[in-house]
Structures are given as C-alpha cells and as structure tokens.
Chain A
Amino acid sequence: MSVLQRDPQDQVRVLDEDGAVVGEVPDIDDETLVEMYRNMRLARHFDTRAVSLQRQGRMGTYPPLSGQEGAQIGSAIALEEDDWMVPSYREHGAALIRGLPLKQTLLYWMGHEKGNKMPEDANILPPAVPIASQIPHATGAAWALKLQGKTDKGVLCYFGDGATSEGDFHEALNFAGVFDTPNIFFCNNNQWAISVPRERQTASETIAQKATAYGLDGIQVDGMDPLAVYSVTKAALDKAKNPDEGELRPTLIEAVQYRFGAHTTADDPTVYRDDEEVERWKAKDPIPRLETFLRETGRLDDEKIDDIESDIEATVADAIEAAESDPRPDPSEMFEYAYAEQTPEIRAQREEFEALREKVGDEGFLRE
C-alpha cells in the first residue's frame, strides 16, 4: 500500500528524534543517503555563512533555512532529472539539488538580478517572493506538461504555511484537481509566517487535510525527518506520473518542521516566540538524526564526516569568493530584458542614461 494511503492527521515518520528507525526505511542506495547528508550539512553551513555575510554588510536581506534541511533536501533528492521545481524564496538547499549553483543564490540575495537566471539545463523556475503566487505557476507548468504529452514529468512546488491563507493556494490546488495535473504541492509548515503562528493561519487541524476539499490526497510528514520526506515525495511523484485507475495525480504534502532562525535577517524572532519553543524544536534537528542513522547502519564514520566537513567548507568559501568577485552588473542591463525587442521608448531612455553616465560618471548615481 502506498505511503499516501493514510489519514492526513497520521504523520509519516521513519526516524525518531534520536535517529532510531520507527518506520519503513525508503529504498535509497548508500551513496544517495550519504549525498543527502552531505547536502543537508552543506545547506546548513551555507545558511550560517549567508547570515553572517548579511550581518557584515556583505549581503542584503536573506531568508535563513536552518531547520528545514530535511524537508528541502529530502524532497528535492526524490526528483528525477526531468522533473521540475517551483520554489519560494527560502529553498536554497532544494535549488542547489536542482542545479542552481550556490554562487547564484548568493548573487540574487546580493541584489544581482542574474542570480535569478536559472541554468538552461536546470528545470527550475525562479524564486517567487509574493506569497503563494508561484503555486498557480506550478499548476500551469504541470498542466502544460500534460497537454504536451510529457506525463513522465512531475512538478514540485514549495510554499510556507502562511501561503495556505492566500487565494492563490486555493485556486492552484483547485485547478490541479480539476485538470488532474502532475503536481506535488509541498508545504514547508515551519510554524510561523513571520510573527504569526500557524494557528492564526487556519483553524484546520492540519494543513494536509485541506487537500480533501480539492479532491486530492493530503499527507502530513515529519519535515525534520529526511527519510520520511523522501518517501512521501517519491510516492507523490510516482502517483503524479502513473496514477492508478481513478486516482488523481496531484498531492498536497504538509511537512511539519521549524525554522530555527528568523524569517529573514530583517526580522527578530525573539519578539514573538520563546526560547523554550526553539529548544524543543532544535531537539528534532534533522542533521544529527540522519547522522545517527547513517553511523549506526555503518554508512558513515568519523573519517567520512571529517571529509564531508572540509569539503563543504571549501565549497561554500569558493562560492562566496566567486560571488563577491563577480563584476557589478552593467547598469545598462536594466533596459535589456524588459521586452524581447527593446521598444523605441526604452531605447531612447537607455541612450539618455548612457549619455548621462558618460557625463557624470558612476559617482553621479551611486549612494555611499
């Protein structure tokens, strides 16, 4: 029986908080399991460094992901190469798995638009900042794949618990059910929409149960258990591509988790949540959980962990150096991409801009 065939209130778990096996371990090869661990560590380290760069004034506002590595990596690793990902603005770890280099994630949050330019061979749409607005895109993308006869591809879309209050969430899930599109709607329920708790977003007992209203399967998973997340995402993808007779393709997954840090570096979470709550959730940290499991099953040892540690430190350091040494974007780029072919007005404005820049220099524009 598929892992999806259960009540939305019945949370899927594979590892308990101490890393002991309490559910069915998914069928993943050793190499991928270690890769999963490495990427979670990489995402955590990247996140720590990104917050620190922001504090040092080397990067703009940044949304931290710590605590959500299990949900991001566990789900993204379940995708196959041809599947698509539609992220919100916090999925730096998941985007990395999809082929978006860390350097670009850094560039985006450093204010370079080109961080948004996804590599041509990476099936990922750009991060969306307006809450829930990317969910209809995911439905449309999956719908297009179905209309194009490419039913061997699924579309995984991320959003937070706050997004489930927006109309776009409901419209997107409703369309997906009506048109039976190969979608996986993945809610990173991290308990807080900035300062507003999940209980203030919805009176539903779970977010997963909302799927019922659209005729979809809804499933709740421990979002800090990467193996459980992998299992449900994989099952949802398989169903999206090959549904049983009378079964709908789309699935809503609620991954219950916690963001350890602030909503963004512009936010101070001590104002709205207490230390006891944070500590309680930190005990569920997905990284030591997976590490315990991998050590106890003989897939990891101290030596391998040391190697991983030095490798991820070098990887992140290289990405930061590459991002910081990237040349400032050419200001004329502003005019370049608004239309496929520049309008006469934009051409004229660009010429005027360039002539003025020539005359007054960059000092004439740049603020200290």
Chain B
Amino acid sequence: MSAQNLTIVQAVRDGLYTEMNLDDEVLVMGEDVGKNGGVFRATEGLWDEFGDDRVIDTPLAESGIVGTAVGMAAMGLKPVPEIQFSGFMYPGYDQIISHMSRYRTRTRGRYTLPMVLRAPYGGGIRAPESHSESKEMFYAHEAGLKVVIPSTPYDTKGLLISAIRDPDPVIFMEPKLIYRAFRGEVPEEDYTVPIGEAAVRREGTDVSVFTYGAMTRPTLEAVENLEEEGIDAEVVDIRTISPMDRETVVESFKKTGRAVVVHEAPKNGGLGAEITATIQEEALLYQEAPVKRVAGYDVPYPLYALEDYYLPSVARVEEGIREAVNF
C-alpha cells in the first residue's frame, strides 16, 4: 500500500473520496459542502470530481438535510450528510431520534438506513457560541445508532469507510480541535478500521486511562510526563462511543485495577459514567481505587476566553492519574 501523510480533516476527505470512487450510491450533502469544499475543507475537491448529483449543496435546514437523507437511504442510496457544526444538529434531532435510529426496528428490517451523519464537534478552537459542544452522549443514548469518534488520521479514514459500508446509521463525530493538529500515515487505498473496537494506544500496568477524540493527545502527553514519576499508565482510545468496546475496557482494568476517564463532554451522564458503571458491574473485585473522571464541567460550554479552563488540560489529566494511583 502506498501511504500519504495526512491530517485528520484530510483523512475525512480521503475517506469520502475513496469510497465515492468505489461505490456510486455514496453521496455527500449539506451546507457549503460543494463548490466551497466545506467550511473545514472536509469535502474539498469532491464536487469537481463527482459533480452536482453526488456532492450536493443543500438549503440551510438541518431537519431537511437529515430527513431527506433518511428518505434517500430508505430508497437504497448511501447518503453522507454533513452538519456544519455539531452544535447545529438540534434542528435535525427529531429526525435523528424519531426516524434515523428507529427505521430498522419499526419496519422489522424491511428498511434499513445505510447513512452516515458527519459533524465536527468539540472545543478548543476559539469558536463562537454553539460551535464547541461535545454532545456525543445524546446520540450514544439512542439505540439503533452507532457513534464513532476518531483520534488519528489512519483511524479517521478507516472508520469512515466502515461507517459508510455499515448497513446501520452512524453518527460520525470529528474532533475539530485536532482536525489539523498533526499528520499521520494514511494508505491511499481503501481499508477499514472496525466499528465497536477500542485501541490500546499505550500499554501499562499501574492505571488504565480511557479517553477518545481530541482528549487522546493531552492524555498521552500527561502519561508520558508521569513516566518520570514512575507511573506506568495504559491508554485506551475508545474510538466507538456506541456500541462501546466493554471487553477491552474491562480487560485493561483487570490488569491495572485503577481507572481514569478523560473526556471533554460534561461529567454528568458522560461516557465516564458508563465506563465507571461497566467496571463496577464486571470487575469490582479488581478495583484498587475509585474511578477518577477528568471531564468538562457541568456548565454550558463557555465562550473562548474561558474555554481552556473548561477543557481537561494535561495538568488536570496528570492530577487525575496521580489521584487514582496514590489512593
């Protein structure tokens, strides 16, 4: 395989391009995705390549975008609608919850919706109000949907292709803080990364740190810093928020007996709560310390003057890990 050195947003584009070339039924739709190539350039050049009927600039209407994609998918196309920012998914929320997640169940499998709803999400880019939310649990709580959040360019392309090929609807949330933060090797060919499998990013024996999306990087940095203090941490990138890979979580925890969860979503009802409960249910007797959650606070996402205080920082992650280890 020949490889390219791509950022995450370039890997999104490459994933779309690769799959659109292979499958005529795949189409991209949304606001500014066509000629403009997307406000983050995630669809750059696709319109030139595939034309008006496969890269479609829609009216500004999120419910219309999701709802018409539901109709298209019911008729056998594979639409990949983009919502420009996840903070604007709410006008389409009724379509996501009332239809996208339920179509297969309601019709006893007569119709299934092979669609992927993409949206950049998360904070840290000095964006205005309603451009920084991390609401992945809204969708994870809804059976019938799959929720995927990549953290590397390689995973982004492989997971996106898996999502497009998946017969079920997938919410694909892209951590925009790291859209361009670094590059990684991405094969030019098509390949898949399986949905529903977590990745162990670093092996360790003292404590398991569970994270995903943009928080993977500060977590890895914190863990590296703590090496000097003699702490040998394992880092697990959850990658698929729903269905979560409980097996990898439990196996890692059984090895270390200590857990820290890091996410930028609010602590209340976040994935940290789900991971903690899973550990309680399946590995209680291995537990050496309370599970520590390093998360966003339970406040509306602040304007950017304060966002650095809201987001888990390297120092906060380090403190969290120390707390779990020194209990």
Contact = CB atoms under 8 A, between A and B. Distances in A.
A145 B56 CA distance: 15
A366 to B, nearest CB: 22
Interface string B128-157: 000000000000000110100000000000
Interface stretch (A13-21, A225-233, A254-262, A338-346): A338-346
Contacts of A120: 110
Given A133-B99, A137-B70, A338-B144, A148 B75 contact: yes
A137 B105 contact: no
Given A175-B68, A339-B168, A340-B112, A136 B95 contact: yes
B243 A113 contact: no
Interface in A156-186: 167-168, 171-172, 174-175, 178-179
Interface residues of B, number: 47
A172 B72 CA distance: 13
Contacts of B63: 136, 167-168, 171
Interface in B10-62: 27, 53, 56, 58-59, 61
Contacts of B300: none
Given A116-B106, A147-B27, A340-B167, A140 B94 contact: no
B267 interface: no
A137 B146 CA distance: 21
A83 B122 CA distance: 43
B195 to A, nearest CB: 10
Interface string A327-358: 00000010011111001111000000000000
A367 to B, nearest CB: 23
Contacts of A138: 71
A58 interface: no
Contact of B110 (A117, A133, A167, A339): A117
Given A116-B108, A337-B108, A338-B104, A171 B144 contact: no
B247 A344 contact: yes
B77 to A, nearest CB: 5
Contacts of A338: 104-105, 143-144
B75 A144 contact: yes
B87 interface: no
Nearest to B278: A345
A158 to B, nearest CB: 14
A191 B247 CA distance: 56
A171 B72 CA distance: 15
Nearest to B143: A338
A284 B295 CA distance: 64
A337 B105 contact: yes
A86 to B, nearest CB: 8
B303 interface: no
Contacts of B230: none
B243 A345 contact: yes
Given A174-B61, A344-B246, A167 B91 contact: yes
B67 interface: yes
Contacts of B91: 167
B64 A171 contact: yes
Contacts of A78: none
B59 A178 contact: yes
Contacts of B64: 136, 139, 168, 171-172, 174-175
A128 interface: yes
B111 A125 contact: yes
B246 A345 contact: yes
A143 interface: yes
A167 to B, nearest CB: 6
B200 interface: no
A280 B125 CA distance: 63
Contacts of B222: none
A175 B77 contact: no
Contacts of A135: 67
A213 to B, nearest CB: 13
B98 interface: yes
Q: Which of A133, A136, A139, A172 has the most CB of B within 10 A?
A: A136
B290 interface: no
A331 B269 CA distance: 29
Interface in B75-124: 75-77, 79, 91, 94-95, 98-99, 103-112
A140 B77 CA distance: 10
A246 interface: no
A141 interface: yes
B107 A117 contact: yes
B236 interface: no
B75 A145 contact: yes
B104 A144 contact: no
A178 B107 CA distance: 30
B259 interface: no
A364 interface: no
B289 interface: no
A57 interface: no
A126 interface: yes
A130 interface: yes
Contact of B69 (A116, A140, A145, A344): A140
B4 to A, nearest CB: 30
B203 to A, nearest CB: 23
A77 B77 CA distance: 28
A148 B74 CA distance: 13
A128 B59 contact: no
B104 A168 contact: no
Contacts of A343: 196, 243
Nearest to B53: A147
A333 B68 CA distance: 29
B77 A148 contact: yes
A140 B105 contact: no
Contact of A143 (B68, B103, B106, B107): B68
18 contacts: A117-B109, A117-B110, A126-B107, A130-B99, A133-B98, A136-B63, A136-B66, A136-B71, A140-B71, A141-B72, A144-B75, A147-B72, A167-B91, A168-B94, A171-B63, A175-B68, A337-B108, A346-B143
Interface of A: 86, 113-114, 116-118, 120, 125-126, 128, 130, 133, 135-145, 147-148, 167-168, 171-172, 174-175, 178-179, 333, 336-340, 343-346
User: What 4 A-B pairs come out closest when comparing CB atoms?
Assistant: A140-B71, A136-B67, A171-B64, A140-B68
Given A141-B72, A175-B64, 15 more contacts: A116-B106, A116-B107, A116-B110, A117-B107, A125-B111, A136-B66, A136-B70, A137-B71, A140-B73, A143-B68, A172-B64, A337-B105, A343-B196, A345-B246, A346-B143
